[in-house]
Chain A
Amino acid sequence: MRTSRLALPAAALVVLLAALARASPGAPAAPSAPQHAPVAPAKPAALIQAEPPPFSEGIYPCSACHAEQKDRTRRELGFHEEQQSVFDHDSEHRWCLDCHDYENRDVLRLANGDQVPFTESYRLCGQCHGDKYRDWRAGVHGKRIGHWDGEKTYFLCVNCHNPHSPRFKGVKEIVVDGKRTTAPTLAPMRPEPRPRRPDEMRSPAPASGAGR
């Protein structure tokens, strides 16, 4: 039975040859995948402000209407119904001119009278909300997009918090002067659809050209 006697060693030899063809020096405990050339160490990251502050349509520049200042007394306004009706930012003690500059409505005012542009409104918020401000400066509070090791785009406080009704409810994309920006909403957000339950995933989907 020569053929049967040779069968076993022949099979073993085939297996061995296949194994040698596959075997490589060293087990695959080698470190991670073959790499591209290491990226150069990052330069200090640039921080870019996000889209423009979310003004209501046509409301800026404010000086278009507020050319002459007359009355500083705290009162109910006859205009700006949109803001006044929702105003609850410490409404017992604060009113418009605590933040909006009396002389120049195109800027905001700090407690010591300094003026800041709307693009730096965070300095105003940070006067009272110091811990949030410090967290925001470090990137811990609020949103940033871009690169963890490079250029980031940061969002202003007012992109998420309506300064007249600051408690967060939701956000949406709007267009201001032809540019897309994020603005806070007055109503909470609707969640995306729930995932499918396991028993809702039955037979495979019909074979479509793209899916296969």
Chain B
Amino acid sequence: MTGFLEFVKGCGRQVVSGGRAYRLWIGALLALIVVGGVAYAHQARTGLIATNMRDQVSWAFYIGNFTFLVGVAAAAVLLVIPAYVYQWKPLKEVVVLGELLAISALTMCLLFILVDMGRPDRFLHIMPLLGTPNWPRSMLTWDALVLHAYLFLNLTLVLYLLFKTYRGEHYDRRIFLPLVLLSIPLSISTHTVTAFLYNGMAARAYWNASILAPRFIASAFCSGPAVMIILFQILRRTNGLPIKDEAIWKIAELMSYAMFVNLFLLGAELFKEYYSATEHLLYTQYFWGGIGEHRTLVPYAWASLACSVIAFVLFLVPSTRRNYVTLNLGCVLIWAGVYIEKGMGLIIPGFTPDTLGEIYEYRPTATEWAIAAGVFGIGFLVFTMLVKIAVPILVGTFRAPERTEAPSQSPAGIPAH
């Protein structure tokens, strides 16, 4: 661990230095965080009544964001599999950025859970040994377990890889590869367990469908990497990060398959609900067609579908996939589509109508928007700082002092055999 303090100091220097655009970006994020912090102080003081959640709709905006972000975190695996299972070199160089995205997304997930809890001061009660977790029956304990495991695994991998590259040393495959391969089932597990959290509730017919876990994985894979595609283009231009076009296009191609599966599973779900037309149809109907004059979510449902379908076409057709304008448009569209589908489009219809048939139409309050903005600010800040440290290491401009005489030009982490 020699030189670790120097590494930490160097990271600090990387984070605080930057051009005007960088400072503006950081400033904007800090402003969001302050807004969120003030709003959270208000919520902590008055209670969750500051939100619009009530007994009838007891999970809403925070949990919707949490669900979407768990999917984004799981999506790092879409880079890991081609890079380390299929040994595809163009992606191997940039897998670590996917893991950084996972870390940031997981941070946001845990924060959203924290702001949604009625008694966050009692978080010890869920921990093993110090508390009494209801393991293995409660899905939330599994969720806490795999999310933290995945977070720490990613942190370990990233720290190890970056520190080694910083020192110009080769990483030990025997340590690194098993951990990376472990991250594949662990990442699928995080999202499957989150799906099971909803799926297991017999009281909520909208969620109590076996198709939920496959839908979660499909929508995770088709939305998470969209951030990576846009980020890679930015980094290529600003930091000279050597990412080949074919790496980006391969990610887009894999995403298009995931998009197809996502749309197919949605179609299967809609068929079952509308064709069998049991009482359970009511929840799906609320989302897509409204019930009586209760139609708040209907425009969002159709917008989400439109975004997902257009994105699918843009990603599927090779000419639009390779055109960066249409590709980036597709990325924005798929994020919007899945954000709605998996966020509010999953949570709210599960509660509307409620278990006794009542319809309470939920809309987030200003407090909820502010707190969510603050959490996203923290997540983006974490991601920005991590990327600000990682990219110079990968590119070779941030190295251990005694290594600057013999710069290693090989891209990150590839053991020079």
Contact = CB atoms under 8 A, between A and B. Distances in A.
Specify whether A and B are partners. Answer: yes
Interface stretch (A83-91, A116-124, A199-207): A199-207
B236 interface: no
B2 A18 contact: no
B302 interface: no
Interface string A79-116: 00000000000000000000000000000000000000
B58 to A, nearest CB: 10
A28 interface: yes
A19 B49 contact: no
A198 B1 contact: no
Task: Give the contact-size bracket for chain B.
Answer: 10 to 19
Contacts of B360: 197-199
Interface string B28-51: 000000000000000000110110
B54 interface: yes
A1 B132 contact: no
B60 to A, nearest CB: 12
A23 B50 CA distance: 37
A198 B56 CA distance: 8
A203 B43 CA distance: 11
A28 B134 CA distance: 10
A5 interface: yes
Interface in A25-41: 27-28
B1 A18 contact: no
Interface string A1-29: 10011000000000100110011000110
B4 interface: yes
A23 B129 CA distance: 6
B55 A203 contact: no
Given A1-B2, A1-B4, A5-B1, A201 B54 contact: yes
B5 interface: yes
Given A19-B129, A28-B132, A204-B49, A198 B4 contact: no
Given A19-B129, A19-B130, A1 B55 contact: no
A22 B130 contact: yes
B142 to A, nearest CB: 17
B252 to A, nearest CB: 41
A143 B132 CA distance: 44
A4 B1 CA distance: 9
Nearest to A18: B130
A198 B47 contact: no
B368 to A, nearest CB: 14
B47 A204 contact: yes
A203 B132 CA distance: 34
Contacts of B56: 198
Interface string B290-322: 000000000000000000000000000000000
Contacts of A22: 129-130
Contacts of B50: 203
Given A23-B129, A201-B54, A1 B46 contact: no
A33 to B, nearest CB: 15
Q: Classify chain A's interface size.
A: 10 to 19
Nearest to A200: B54
Nearest to A22: B130
Contacts of A4: 1, 4-5
A198 B46 contact: no
A1 B5 contact: yes
A1 to B, nearest CB: 6
A1 B1 contact: yes
B62 to A, nearest CB: 17
Given A1-B5, A198-B56, A204 B130 contact: no
Contact of B49 (A23, A28, A197, A203): A203
A28 B130 CA distance: 13
A203 B2 CA distance: 55
Nearest to B2: A1
Interface in A186-212: 197-199, 201-204
Nearest to A1: B1
B46 A204 contact: yes
Nearest to A19: B129
Contacts of B4: 1, 4
A165 to B, nearest CB: 36
Nearest to A202: B49
Contact of A198 (B54, B129, B132): B54
A19 B56 CA distance: 38
B48 to A, nearest CB: 10
A204 B4 CA distance: 50
A133 B50 CA distance: 54
Interface in B92-118: none
Nearest to A204: B46
B61 to A, nearest CB: 15
Given A203-B49, A204-B46, A198 B55 contact: yes
Nearest to B132: A28
B352 to A, nearest CB: 12
Contacts of A198: 54-57, 360
Q: Which 5 A-B pairs have the closest CB atoms?
A: A198-B54, A19-B129, A204-B46, A198-B360, A28-B132
28 contacts: A1-B1, A1-B2, A1-B5, A4-B1, A4-B4, A4-B5, A18-B130, A19-B129, A19-B130, A22-B129, A22-B130, A23-B129, A27-B132, A28-B132, A198-B54, A198-B55, A198-B56, A198-B360, A199-B52, A199-B54, A199-B360, A201-B49, A201-B54, A202-B49, A203-B46, A203-B50, A204-B46, A204-B49
Given A1-B1, A1-B2, A199-B52, 6 more contacts: A1-B4, A15-B130, A19-B129, A28-B132, A198-B57, A203-B46
